[in-house]
Structure 1
Amino acid sequence: MDEDDKPASLASPACLLHEVDPDYAGLPGPTEPRDWPQVNRWRKAERERLIAARLAMPAERRAAFGAAIAAQALAEIGAADGLVVSAYWPFRGEPDLRPLLQTLAASGGRTALPVVIAKGQPLEFHAWQPGDPLERGVWNIPIPAVPHPVIPDVVIAPVVGYDPACYRLGYGGGFFDRTLAALPRRPRIIGVGYSGARCMTIHPQPHDIAMDMIVTENGVVRPYDCTTRALT
C-alpha cells in the first residue's frame, strides 16, 4: 500500500458538498465504510495513467501550458515582496515553474524548494533561488546544496491528479499531507497541473488535505466551486 493511501486521523474537508449531497460528488457518505483496497488500486492505476499521459504530451505544449500556469499562479500570489514561496523542481513532465521562481525572487520574494529528509518524515523547505548551487537529492531531484530551512507562506505543489474539491492525487509517498500537518502554521497552498489531470474524485481519505486552489492552463479551480454547483 502506498504511504499516502493508508487511513489516518487527519482531515481537512474541502467544501460542504459532502454534507449537502455525498452522492452528487460520487463519494461515500461520512458513515459509509470505504473500500480501502479498491481505492488504493484505483489510485495506483490512475497515477500511472495520468503520468503516462503528460509524458506523452509534446514538449512544446507542456512548455506553453507551463507558461500559462505560471502566469495565473503569479496573479494569485500577488505582491511577492516579503513572502516565502516554495515551488519545486520539475519531475516526470510536471509544469516547469522555475521561471516563476526567478520572477518572484526579482520582485522581492524569498523562494524555496522542498527537500525529502527521510521516508515517513515531513518534507523540509530550504531557501533557494535560480543561480544558487544545487545537489542531487532523493530520486536525483535537485535540492539546495546549502541547507537553509524556511517556513513558506505559499506552497506551490504539483499534482498528478486533482478533483473539483481541490484534493490532490500525488505520487503515493504521503510526504505532502504529512508536511502540511506538521507545519507550525498553514501556508497558502496552490496546486498546479494540467487540465487533463482532472478526475471526478480522487476518493479523498481522512488524512488528505485539500489545496486552496488548483491552477491549470485553462484557469483556476477553487474548492468552494463544488459547493456552489451543489446548491444551484
Structure 2
Amino acid sequence: MTEIGSSQWRRDMRADLIARRQEIPVAQRNKADAKLAHMLGEYIGDVAGKVVSIYWPFRGEPDLRTFAKACRQQGAVIALPVVVEKAAPLAFREWADGMSLDRGVWNIPIPPADAPKVMPDIVIAPVVGADADNYRLGYGGGFFDRTLEHLRQSKAAKAIGVGYAEQRMETIYPHKYDIPMDHMILVDT
C-alpha cells in the first residue's frame, strides 16, 4: 500500500491526473482555454510594460498562446521558461511571434539561446494537480518551486497556476520545498 503524500503517491497521482487531462476532448479543452484566457485577463489587468511568462502546452495542458498574443498586442513582453540545468531555477527568454524555436527538455519548444533573457513580472504555470491552498503538483522536477523561490527573493513576481477543474485535489500533501502559487485558476471543461 502506497503511503499518502509519499513520492510514489505523487507519481501515481501525476499519472492519473495527466491521463484524465489528456482524455478531455480537444474541442472541450479549446473552449476551456478561451474561458481561462478571459479569467486570466480579468485577474491580471493591464499588462502594458510587463513581462508575462506563459509556457508551451504539453500533454494536454491549457494552450495560452492566443492569450499571449493578446498580451503582446497590449504592450507586454512574452517569455517562455527554459530548463538550463537540472535542479536549478528556470531561465526566461523572450518569445516573439514567428520566432524560430529550439527543442528543450521533453522536446518542448523554447526560444533560442540568443533570445533576450528577461525576468517575468507574472509567471503563469500549468498544473498537473492543485489544491485549495494554491499548492501545485507538477511533473516532479521541482523547477517551478525553485523558480518561485528564486523570483520571490529577487523580484515581486506574481505566480498564477492554471489548469482544468479535473485537476483539483483535496491536498497535494505539500512537502517542505513546495511553494504555493499566489493565485490558482482551474476552469470547467
TM-score normalised by the shorter chain: which range applies?
A: over 0.9
- The residue number in structure 2 matching 1:195 is 165
Q: 1:206 to 1:38 in 2, by over 3 A?
A: closer
Structure 2 CA distance, aligned partners of 1:38 and 1:197?
16
Matched, 1:212 2:182: yes
Question: Is the partner of 2:68 in helix, strand or coil?
Answer: helix
Q: 1:38 to 1:97 in 2, by over 3 A?
A: closer
CA RMSD of aligned residues (A): 1.5
Structure 2 CA distance, aligned partners of 1:148 and 1:129?
10
Asked if the contact 1:114/1:124 (under 8 Å) is kept, the reply is: yes
Question: Is the partner of 1:190 in helix, strand or coil?
Answer: strand
Matched, 1:58 2:25: yes
Question: Is the partner of 2:6 in helix, strand or coil?
Answer: helix
Structure 2 CA distance, aligned partners of 1:75 and 1:58?
26
- The residue number in structure 1 matching 2:136 is 168
Gaps of at least 5 residues in structure 1 are: 1-34, 219-232
CA shift, 1:115, in A, is 0.3
The correspondence of residues 13-92 of structure 1 with structure 2, limited to 5 A, is 39-92=6-59
- The residue number in structure 2 matching 1:96 is 63
The one-letter code matched in structure 2 to 1:118 is E
Gaps of at least 5 residues in structure 2 are: none
TM-score by length of 1: 0.76
Deviation beyond 4 Å, 4+ runs, structure 1: 35-38
CA shift, 1:40, in A, is 1.2
Superposed CA deviations along residues 101-155 of structure 1, whole A, max 9, x for unmatched, are: 0000000011100000011111101111222221111111000123311110000
The correspondence for 1:108, drawn from 58, 70, 75, is 75
Superposed CA deviations along residues 65-93 of structure 1, whole A, max 9, x for unmatched, are: 11111110111110110110000000000
Q: 1:207 to 1:36 in 2, by over 3 A?
A: farther
- The residue number in structure 2 matching 1:153 is 121
Q: Percent identity?
A: 48
The correspondence for 2:146, drawn from 175, 178, 194, is 178
Comparing both chains, which one has the higher relative contact order based on Cα–Cα distances under 8 Å and sequence gaps of 6 or more?
1
Asked if the contact 1:102/1:129 (under 8 Å) is kept, the reply is: no
Structure 1 CA distance, aligned partners of 2:4 and 2:84?
28
CA shift, 1:173, in A, is 0.3
Number of matched pairs: 184
Structure 2 CA distance, aligned partners of 1:91 and 1:156?
14
Structure 1 CA distance, aligned partners of 2:140 and 2:5?
15
